[in-house]
């Protein structure tokens, strides 16, 4: 990076910024980074959002933001005016410096803020009697005693007070506000006239053509005669969006009758296209290259039920695990065909239910092929806090599966069996973006039991726990995951079926090792078969950071440390298994394995394209000691 610039005019009487301009006949200069310093009361992201000058984003690949000296000065003036509006009358903002890249093509901009002492809220009072508890109202206010006085938030607080009354049916509530300024302190008063609560009158639905009226009525949270709680109006709108049947939903209270104290509800919808056809392809570590095709309808004969058919086909392009064009050999590793029927409610209860008939052929574990014909019945219920995607952060799922299984394992005769499996899970998801999270957490607890009174030939049970967390600091993310799984046979079975055991190793678990290569093995002559395990432990830590220079092209880097293994039984785990290093010849199948490495991410709006190189810290005779490259879509977790 070179140099500092001189000659930009300062705002509000502050000193001039420093600049060493690029050559006059040089190329057009683009914005690389905007750094704001000195701000404590207002976050940098809030200030950048108010600027016309922008940093490059994914959508700037073909049209990068240009650096305009006059515009950046106007941005500084705009930010200073914004500070004055949010309660900082003495604030000053200036462009402090601009640094250019060596080729003069990109500029890093530094903006200096001197906030000064703000005007603060001294008191907030409600002089009239309230139908909503004062403590409850105060918890909702943005302008609380001690905070800077932002006049633009006053109306927001008025709306929040109204909303609390709306939720009790007081749709005619009137809230007046007044402020008294005393030096650098402000006293705020909210005068509330709640009026009378209103009940629901008539409910009208319009706009539906293919969706039956009964499907819509099942999602309405209000009935004529109920108190018209605004939260139920909003929940009705959310319910209708969640069906996936509509791209526009308006739920509007209208025709207020003050004499009868009623209000009518009008629901207007616009239907989505009811059927779809999709095809696609992808690249992953477990399934390799894959293609799929799907047809479905989300409104089977007008009932709001879903019916879809999907086919998936995965294949390897090269013989073996390495990318070697001399070994180019397309071979099928996985195929699956699904027919799914689903509905949102059972007997009017909001309990999503479905039936899935499937045929699967899985060859992803070396020297093992498992063909499964199955039928799964499932139910799910979402609750907890609403998410921006109209889902909820907590989900309970239950299922019952009947599976007819054919196993072909190297060195063993073909085996047929049947498993009847009862399963359940509880998850909580507060991640900000599932495909590329930067903050939040994901928790999952799942359990299943097969056989016994359920029938079938296999008797076993399993339980798995998963915890993922994401911490953001600046532009970087520290992410970690821990998983533990335990399973055991009982009754007529001596061991958990091979297809239901745990497998680790590869690009989605312990990088630096081949897919599904860790844990117990059976050696027959010169061939070795991975047996899987009945106990599993996995830990991953990733530090995800923007790459210098390449960050403007949406590339990011990752440093990671993985650890994990599977054991034949939980009783096989010993403290010595967790030693950090061993000689290759001394590494045993029960040793907890470690992998370390670096990765590159190319960020897209639907998640990153991922390339990782993992190096094994504790290899055995079956491990490539030079490490392994992995290519996939989306983050590992």
Over residues 226-256, the pLDDT tens digits come to: 999 999 999 999 999 999 999 999 999 999 8
Which two tokens mark 169? 């049916």
Residue pair 591/618 in contact by the 8 Å Cβ criterion: yes
Lowest mean pLDDT among 18-32, 171-185, 449-463: 18-32
The answer to whether 370 touches 406, Cβ cutoff 8 Å, is yes
1 falls within a domain: no
Is 210's pLDDT higher than 60?
A: yes
Please indicate, yes or no, if residue 346 is contained in any of the structural domains.
no
- Regarding whether 405 and 530 lie in a shared domain, the answer is yes
Q: Is residue 348 part of a domain?
A: no
| CA–CA distance, 300 with 296 (Å, rounded to integer) | 9
In the Cβ-directed half-sphere of 404, how many Cα atoms lie within 13 Å?
A: 5
**Mean pLDDT confidence for 128-157:** 91
* Domain final residue, candidates 271, 287, 320: 271
Most confident residue range from 93-102, 281-290, 442-451: 442-451
Residue 216's pLDDT is 95
Please check whether residue 347 lies inside any domain of the structure: no
380-409 pLDDT, tens per residue? 998 888 776 667 889 999 999 999 999 888
Say whether both 189 and 266 belong to one domain: no
369/453 same-domain check: yes
The CA distance from 622 to 524, in Å, is 14
Same-domain pairing of 125 and 101: no
Considering the domain architecture, whether residues 478 and 562 belong to the same structural domain is answered as yes
For residue 466, the model assigns a pLDDT of 97
Instruction: Identify the pLDDT of residue 327.
Output: 57
Per-residue model confidence (pLDDT) at position 12: 36
Summary mean pLDDT of the chain: 88
Report CA-CA distances (Å) from 262 to 36, 164, 202, 227, 265: 53, 19, 9, 9, 10
Residue 344: inside a domain, yes or no? no
For residue 575, give the 3-state DSSP assignment: helix
pLDDT tens-place string over residues 282-330? 666 556 677 899 999 999 999 999 999 999 998 776 555 555 555 555 6
Residue with tokens 């399993």: 462
pLDDT of residue 5: 29
> At residue 69, what are phi and psi to the nearest 5 degrees?
-60, -40
| 203 and 235 housed in the same domain | yes
Q: What angle do CA 96, 102, 108 make, to 5 degrees?
A: 30
**Does 168 share its domain with 248?**
no
Where a domain ends, among 91, 114, 137?
Answer: 114
User: What's the number of domains the chain is made of?
Assistant: 5
How distant, in Å, are the alpha carbons of 135, 294, 311, 342, 501 from that of 298?
45, 13, 18, 9, 35
Under DSSP, the state recorded for 2 is B
63-94 pLDDT, tens digit each: 678 899 899 999 999 999 999 988 899 999 99
- The beta strand positions in 499-635, using DSSP E, are 521-524, 527-530, 535-546, 555-567, 593-602, 609-616, 628-633
Supply the pLDDT for residue 25.
52
258 in any annotated domain: yes
Calculate mean pLDDT across residues 178-202.
Answer: 93
Regarding whether 130 and 107 lie in a shared domain, the answer is no
- Whether residues 178 and 245 share a domain: the answer is no
**Which pLDDT does position 14 carry in this prediction?**
38
> Is residue 561 a contact partner of residue 595, using CB atoms and an 8 Å limit?
yes
In-domain check, residue 420: yes
Nearest residue to 283 via CA among 607, 513, 616, 555? 607
All residues at 6 or more sequence positions from 94 whose CB lies less than 8 Å from its CB, including other chains: 10, 11, 12, 14, 15, 17, 76, 111, 112
pLDDT at 16 over 70: no
Lookup result for tokens 């308006």: 250
Pair (358, 369) in one structural domain = no
Give the model's pLDDT for residue 461.
97
Domain range enclosing 236: 199-271
Report yes or no on whether pTM surpasses 0.95: no
- Determine whether 233 is exposed, middle or buried from the number of CB atoms within 10 Å of its CB (0-12, 13-18, 19+): buried
- Tell whether 146 is covered by a domain: yes
For range 49-73, the mean pLDDT: 79
DSSP 168: T
Q: How far is residue 382's CA from residue 344's CA, in Å, rounded to a whole number?
A: 11
More confident residue, 332 or 617: 617
Residue 3 has which token pair? 């140099």
User: Where residue 217 sits, what CATH number does that domain have?
Assistant: 3.10.20.310
Domain closes at, from 247, 271, 295? 271
* Per-residue pLDDT, 15: 42
Category of 71 on φ-ψ map: left (φ > 0), alpha (ψ -120 to 50) or beta = alpha
Residue 103 has pLDDT above 90, yes or no: no
Predicted confidence at residue 482, as pLDDT, reads: 97
- Are 524 and 403 part of one and the same domain? yes
User: Which pLDDT value is given to residue 6?
Assistant: 30
Residues 109 and 22 in one domain: yes
Whether 3 has a pLDDT exceeding 80, the answer reads no
């Amino acid at each position: 990076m070179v140099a500092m610039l001189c000659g930009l005019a300062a705002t509000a009487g502050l000193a001039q910024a420093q600049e060493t301009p690029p050559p006059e006949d040089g190329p057009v200069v683009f914005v690389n980074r905007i750094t704001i310093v000195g701000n404590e009361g207002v976050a940098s992201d809030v200030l950048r959002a108010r600027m016309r000058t922008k940093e490059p984003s994914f959508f700037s690949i073909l049209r990068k933001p240009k650096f305009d000296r006059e515009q950046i000065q106007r941005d500084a003036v705009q930010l200073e005016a914004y500070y004055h509006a949010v309660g900082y009358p003495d604030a000053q903002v200036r462009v402090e410096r601009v640094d250019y890249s060596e080729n003069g093509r990109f500029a890093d901009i530094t903006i200096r803020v001197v906030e000064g002492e703000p005007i603060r809220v001294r008191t907030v009072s409600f002089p009239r009697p309230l139908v909503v508890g004062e403590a409850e109202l105060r918890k909702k206010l943005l302008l609380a005693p001690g905070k800077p006085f932002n006049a633009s938030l006053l109306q927001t607080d008025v709306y929040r007070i109204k909303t609390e009354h709306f939720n009790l049916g007081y749709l005619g509530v009137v809230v007046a506000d007044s402020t008294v300024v005393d030096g650098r302190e402000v006293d705020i008063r909210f005068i509330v006239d709640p009026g009378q609560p209103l009940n629901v009158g008539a409910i009208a639905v319009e706009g539906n053509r293919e969706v039956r009226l009964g499907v819509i009525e099942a999602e309405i949270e209000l009935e004529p005669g109920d108190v018209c709680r605004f939260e139920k109006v909003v929940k009705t709108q959310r319910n209708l969006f969640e069906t996936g049947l509509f791209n526009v939903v308006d739920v509007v209270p209208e025709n207020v009758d003050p004499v009868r104290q009623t209000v009518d509800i009008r629901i207007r919808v616009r239907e989505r296209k009811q059927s779809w056809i999709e095809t696609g392809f992808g690249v992953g570590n477990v399934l390799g290259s894959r293609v799929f095709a799907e047809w479905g309808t989300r409104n089977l004969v007008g009932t709001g039920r879903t019916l879809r058919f999907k086919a998936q086909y995965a294949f390897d392009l090269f013989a073996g695990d390495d990318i070697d064009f001399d070994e180019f050999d397309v071979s099928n590793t996985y195929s699956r065909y699904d027919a799914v029927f689903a509905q949102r409610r059972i007997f009017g209860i909001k309990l999503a239910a479905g039936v899935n008939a499937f045929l699967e052929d899985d060859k992803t574990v070396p020297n093992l092929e498992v063909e499964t014909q199955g039928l799964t019945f499932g139910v799910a219920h979402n609750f907890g806090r609403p998410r921006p995607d109209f889902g909820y952060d907590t989900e309970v799922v239950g299922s019952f599966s009947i599976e007819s299984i054919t196993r072909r394992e190297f060195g063993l005769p073909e085996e047929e069996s049947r498993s009847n499996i009862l399963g359940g899970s509880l998850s909580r998801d507060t991640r900000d973006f599932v495909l590329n999270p930067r903050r939040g957490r994901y928790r999952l607890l799942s359990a299943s039991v097969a056989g016994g009174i359920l029938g079938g030939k296999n008797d076993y049970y399993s339980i798995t726990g998963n915890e993922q967390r994401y911490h953001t600091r600046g532009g970087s993310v520290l992410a970690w995951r821990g998983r533990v799984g335990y399973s055991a046979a009982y009754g007529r079975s001596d061991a958990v079926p091979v297809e239901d055991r745990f497998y680790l190793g590869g690009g989605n678990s312990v990088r630096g090792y081949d897919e599904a290569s860790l844990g117990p093995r059976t050696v027959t002559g010169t061939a070795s078969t991975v047996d899987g395990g009945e106990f599993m432990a996995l830990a991953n830590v990733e530090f995800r950071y923007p790459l210098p220079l390449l960050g403007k092209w949406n590339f990011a880097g990752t440093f990671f440390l993985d650890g994990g293994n599977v054991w034949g039984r939980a009783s096989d785990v010993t403290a010595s298994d967790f030693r950090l290093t061993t000689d290759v010849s001394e590494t045993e199948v029960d040793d907890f394995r470690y992998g370390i490495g670096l990765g590159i991410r190319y960020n897209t709006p639907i998640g990153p394209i991922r390339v990782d190189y993992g190096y094994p810290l504790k290899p055995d005779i079956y491990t490539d000691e030079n490490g392994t490259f992995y290519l996939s879509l989306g983050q590992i977790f």
